Amino acid sequence: MRLSPDCKLRRCTIVFIEPRDGFDLDLKGLFEGRSAITARTRWVALAPHLDGEIELDADDLAALGRFSNDDWRAIADVSNEVASSVLERLVDNGLVIADDDAGASMRARDERIRAMHWSPLAAASHYFSRWSDAGMDGRAEISLRHSLADVVAEFGQPPPHLVEKSAECDRVPLTRATSSDLHELMKSRTTCRNFAADSRLGSDAFGTLIERAFGCHADVELHPGVRALKKSNPSGGGLHPLEAYVLARRVDGVATGLYHYHAGTHALEPIAALSEAEASEHAHRFVAGQQYLADAPVLIALVARFARSFWKYRRHPKAYRAIVLEAGHVAQNLYLAATELGLGAFVTAAINEVAIERAFGLDALDESPLAVCGFGTRADVRTTIEFDPLQRIGRGEVRADGT
């Protein structure tokens, strides 16, 4: 980008610089009898308003240190300190923001990050841990193909299953819970990885489960223009920033497609109609190639609407963590509701966030998925290993280790 001589510049709102050590092949050294491998440290810039990482050289690093992320500097002042080629490169890759017309698009994205009030560490962690096409080449990032014996052989023994801080004789025994419907329901919940691939979900069961996990029980005005929802899960500040985006495949009364769940009216808002083949491809991609989860008749992306939470908790270091915690509460409610209805359920964080954003038309600067849940009828036989220590499901099983 050719910079206007009268433009002003500043550093982008959030950027982290990560040193990465690696090795280069030195062919010249090899032919001269020296080592063919040389160590090298790369400097990588992580800025959440950008689509990817930016590799920097020493001149780029030095130049970035000349700018504040708040105060604009005239280019005439900076050009005495930084070469024009370096300035243009930093403006082109979005690490330095220009206030002229040519820089309007990048400036708008950076200002949206600023306006969202992200905590910098949380923003970098979230944006650069998102996947795009993981597991789509047949190499699942999380695999159940290997037996537990294989895992132990490769990684050694895991940390102890129980943490002990005192001798048994010093422990204070507690009263055991008495049996109740809730107690038995909680004991019966398990993760399902074997769904009946051809089964359909009844409209009553679908509507009931969606309402119990995602619906609102009240909508009240707390202050002029400020409304709050009462839902089944706790939420930081009572703000409920999580939305349910639905991929419906085999549900009575619901056409195959993509939807947003409107909690206020307990209804689905159509986003895109899909063929069954398209829906199957979306499901497979959403859960990063975990086909045993993609077989579920309903998949739901738990999508964070960041502005809802950050409106109150501006740049707060715990705000993002509270949203992630809420996703766990919602997933547990979905498990319990599914268990009560005799259905299987799952939740996974091994997802292709970027693919989900594209499918539902989301911009990661505003909304992004944290996890994917699903539910449906269990298959009669388990062909993929499931963890059911209490044997509550009671189906035939083919274990991953062959036993």
Token pair of 378 as six digits: 């269990």
User: How confident is the model over 192-205, as pLDDT tens digits?
Assistant: 999 998 899 999 99
The pairing of beta strand 37-46 with beta strand 216-223: unpaired
Sign of CA dihedral 189, 195, 196, 200: positive
pLDDT at 392 over 90: no
Average pLDDT of the segment spanning 347-373: 96
CA–CA gap between residue 143 and residue 139 (Å, rounded): 8
pLDDT at 161 over 90: no
* Residue 40: predicted pLDDT: 81
pTM exceeds 0.85 for this model: yes
Average pLDDT of the segment spanning 9-20: 95
Cα angle: 375, vertex 377, 382; to 5 degrees: 100
Average pLDDT, the chain: 90
Average pLDDT of the segment spanning 363-376: 96
Nearest to 394, CA basis, from 188, 179, 201: 188
Nearest to 191, CA basis, from 375, 315, 44: 375
User: How confident is the model over 274-284, as pLDDT tens digits?
Assistant: 999 999 999 99
CA–CA gap between residue 55 and residue 47 (Å, rounded): 11
What is each CA distance from 23 to 20, 58, 323, in whole angstroms? 10, 18, 39
User: How confident is the model over 24-37, as pLDDT tens digits?
Assistant: 776 666 666 666 67
pLDDT at 112 over 70: yes
119 vs 146 pLDDT, higher one: 119
pLDDT at 38 over 60: yes
Where is average pLDDT lowest: 172-176, 256-260, 346-350?
172-176
| Domains of the chain, CATH where assigned | 8-116 (no CATH), 148-157+181-397 (3.40.109.10)
Looking at this protein, which amino acid is placed at residue 219?
D
Helix H or strand E encompassing 242 = strand 242-248
Q: Mark residue 94 as left, alpha or beta (left: phi above 0; alpha: psi -120 to 50; beta: remaining).
A: left
